[in-house]
Structure 1
Amino acid sequence: MSTGAVPRPRVAIFTDETGWHTRRLQRALARRGFEGRCVDLAQCRFETGVPGHGLVIPGFGRDLPVAAMVRGIAGGSLEQITKRLGILHALRELGVPVYNDARAIERSVDKSMTSFLLQKAGVDSPPAWALEDEAQARRILMREASAGRSLVLKPMFGSQGKGLMRVGMVDGVSVPLPDPGRHGGLIYLQRFVPQARVPGFDWRVLVMGGQAVAAMRRVSEHWVRNVAQGARCVPCGLEPGIADLARRAARALDMDYAGVDLVPDPAVPAGAQVIEVNGVAAWRGLQKVTPFDIAQALVDDLLERRLGMGKLRAESSQAG
């Protein structure tokens, strides 16, 4: 009789690079008796001419993962990105839970759709414009500047605070719109929410399974307050109004989990506005100021809420 160990069920961790986050997820999965295998979506393919489900996922043979977690999707052409997201769509059609699934990722990476869905759900968020007409964009900018306001020009699919630029009336100086070609001919503008003090801050709130579970303040002298751009992570409590706003933002985009970014604004009822909803959120900075293991909490939420597994004992879930 064979005495070999029973293979552990495998979860795909889709990522274009391995490192701190993927190691944490693999360790958290191992605690629950699962194997986390890192897979680049660029290496996955459709193969419908053979019997079976029509997908080839490296490291899984002809099997499907029991679930998948999306940690990163490499940039590429429209055709390449469409195919990579198509793999995630196909897994959902095959009954494999994907955390977050392709629909949620599409909503969150497209800043115009994020703004639209937040507005539709009544979640406080700065006015935003997404358009291809350069002349119309300049008219919007002139109107905002004449009211003394500035706008943030953002890449439609950017992240980590890269490529942001303030235009309009910036510190008393009129800053024109640059060549739209630098953003692929698509102009996304979001009204800038000023702060009275320097250094200023914003909040990053982690929402998981419909609940806000952790938060921090990101403090910086600069108006771009992403951790990747040098902001300091400062622990803070989950203020009820901020937590509710973040929870509603994640629900508006139908996300399993989200990193929700908010800026303080005393002019609105909640005292803050949502400026970003991240569907492939990093949490290394947040982990530094959070007492529980975020990767373990993400894995537990996937297994318990999406796969229907029983809860792990509290002391094991919070280990590490």
Structure 2
Amino acid sequence: MDLLFLSSIIRTEEKLLLNALNSAGLAFSTIDVRKKIFDRTHESGLNADLVLNRCISQTQSLASVRYFESLGLTCVNSSSTIALSGDKQAMTLALQAARIPTPSTIFALDTKTALQATEQMGYPVVLKPTTGSWGRLVVKAHDRNAAEAVLDLREQLTGPQHRLHYIQKFIETGNSDLRAITLDGRIIAAYRRRSNHWITNASRGATGEKISISTDLEELCRATSEVAGGGILSIDLFETDQSGLLVNEVNHTTEFALATDVTGVNIASEIVNYLKARL
């Protein structure tokens, strides 16, 4: 087989990709990572030149891709890209180091220090976990009392990730943002997400509208992709009057069903063509 397709739960995006792979006549096999025993010393029967990771879970993605990379296989996306973009602190710091504009963001390792940081930044602020998706556990605090309540709650949660406080200045965008889907930095589809809530995830009911791709958007997404390590990415951005475009987050397992509907671009076919070129 030429391509190895890794997955867990099969969503709309995975169905579209599997259909596009069949339509393109590309030879591939599939693995449900939840059912595989990862035993490098007894691995046999793999006949693949390229691995496409479509696992939903960050943990599953990173563990699976690291395993197949250890066998000498090229994976899309790579483990380094998954590790970087799956960690909001690491990704933000990498973008800031590359002088890519992002919302003002600071970090703290203690709840009292984190509260001081929110005061320093000025309200409202957004408090995020450094891992996770779909806007889970992302909270906007309008004042000290709200920030203190959120920080106290996180102190009670299990897991060391809740002790790293990611504090971002809230950007007023009118409940909208931009998402661009890129292949090694080349934008294949871009659209605006709108919501009745300040969190604009499609999983929370956001709708989309196609946008024109400006030179500024192209250049910023190309630079962001380079920092992240390339591959198949979706990049979320804010539009601001004073600072222009700001990169908010980078996603390594791209959801594209809404983007396909909104833009009319057959994103699954674009991805398959990209994989064929990689092969």
Partner of 2:146: 175
Partner of 1:297: 270
Change (3 A) 1:223 1:251: same
Match of 2:230 among 233, 244, 255: 255
Aligned mates of 1:208, 1:287 — CA distance in 2: 15
Amino acid at match of 1:220: S
Partner of 1:6: none
Partner of 2:82: 105
Matches within 5 A, 1:1-320: 9-50=1-42, 55=43, 62-74=45-57, 81=59, 85-145=62-122, 149-169=123-143, 175-177=146-148, 178=150, 179-181=153-155, 182=157, 184-195=162-173, 198=174, 200-268=175-243, 271-304=244-277, 306-307=278-279
Partner of 1:311: none
Amino acid at match of 1:157: T
* Cα displacement (A) at 1:235: 1.1
Change (3 A) 1:114 1:49: closer
Q: Show CA shifts across 1:47-98 (max 9, x none).
A: 2444xxxx3xxxxx622433211112436xxxxx3x8624312322433221
Conserved 8 A contact 1:10-1:65: yes
Aligned mates of 1:257, 1:290 — CA distance in 2: 17
Secondary structure of 1:153's aligned partner: strand
* Cα displacement (A) at 1:207: 1.0
Amino acid at match of 2:263: T
TM-score normalised to structure 2 length: 0.89
Conserved 8 A contact 1:152-1:165: yes
Q: Show CA shifts across 1:136-171 (max 9, x none).
A: 1111012223xxx322111221111222101244xx
Could you tell me the percent identity over the aligned residues?
Answer: 23
Cα root mean square deviation, aligned: 2.1
- 1 or 2, which has the higher helix percentage? 2
Secondary structure of 2:163's aligned partner: coil
Aligned mates of 1:214, 1:240 — CA distance in 2: 14
Spell out structure 1 runs of 4+ moving beyond 6 A: none
Change (3 A) 1:259 1:14: same
Secondary structure of 1:285's aligned partner: helix
* Cα displacement (A) at 1:46: 3.3
* Cα displacement (A) at 1:31: 2.8
Aligned mates of 1:186, 1:91 — CA distance in 2: 30
Change (3 A) 1:211 1:134: same
Aligned mates of 2:232, 2:61 — CA distance in 1: 20
TM-score normalised to structure 1 length: 0.78
Unmatched runs of 5 consecutive residues or more in structure 1: 1-8, 56-60, 76-80, 308-320
* Cα displacement (A) at 1:185: 2.5
Structure with higher RCO (Cα < 8 A, 6+ apart): 2
Change (3 A) 1:176 1:210: closer
Structure of greater Rg: 1
Conserved 8 A contact 2:233-2:252: yes
Change (3 A) 1:18 1:36: farther
